[in-house]
Amino acid sequence: MISGVPKDWSLHPQLERDTAPVGDLPLTRVLLMNDSNYPWLVLVPRQPGLTELTDLEENAQGQLMAEIARTMGALKSAAACDKLNVAALGNAVPQLHVHIIARRKTDAAWPKPVWGVAPPIAYEAAARESLIETLRHGLQISKL
């Protein structure tokens, strides 16, 4: 299944706390990390019980890659950056999720990976909504 939200799927509470929803692509929910240090999206496949990329069936793995690429394009258009970082780690939150982070040579962690470097700085509500609207437009998705 690569669209819709199965009844037995729910977002991990930690991801729920740390992010704001952008919308749904066919396979994944797109989330904005509430950390204005970096324009930072997270893709979460809406299937229960996934931990590793390889827990997805092969066609869903391909779909995930397509959604990663689509999201990279939209993020790069919304937020000027020097590099995109893409990662599926999951050491802390076991639910399969993919980070897509716009990095700038002037950001708080450059050139290091972002995790654990700078304390998160929450967005102001208006700035967050404006970025989310731009991302929805770039991804061609609507509000949940």
Helix H, strand E, coil C: the string for 58-69 is HHHHHHHHHHHH
CB of 61 to a copy of itself, least distance (A): 5
Q: Which stretch binds a copy of itself (CB under 8 A): 17-25, 37-45, 69-77, 118-126?
A: 69-77
Q: How far is CA 47 from CA 11, 27, 63, 98, in A?
A: 10, 8, 13, 14
Decide: is 108 part of the binding site for a copy of itself (CB under 8 A). no
CB of 112 or CB of 143, closer to a copy of itself: 112
Under a CB-based contact definition with an 8 Å cutoff, are residues 60 and 66 in contact? no
Decide: is 73 part of the binding site for a copy of itself (CB under 8 A). yes
| Cα dihedral 132→137→142→144 (10° resolution) | -20
Residues contacting a copy of itself: total by CB under 8 A: 31
Residues engaged in binding a copy of itself (CB under 8 A) = 51-54, 58, 61-62, 64-66, 68-69, 72-73, 83-92, 103, 110-113, 115-116
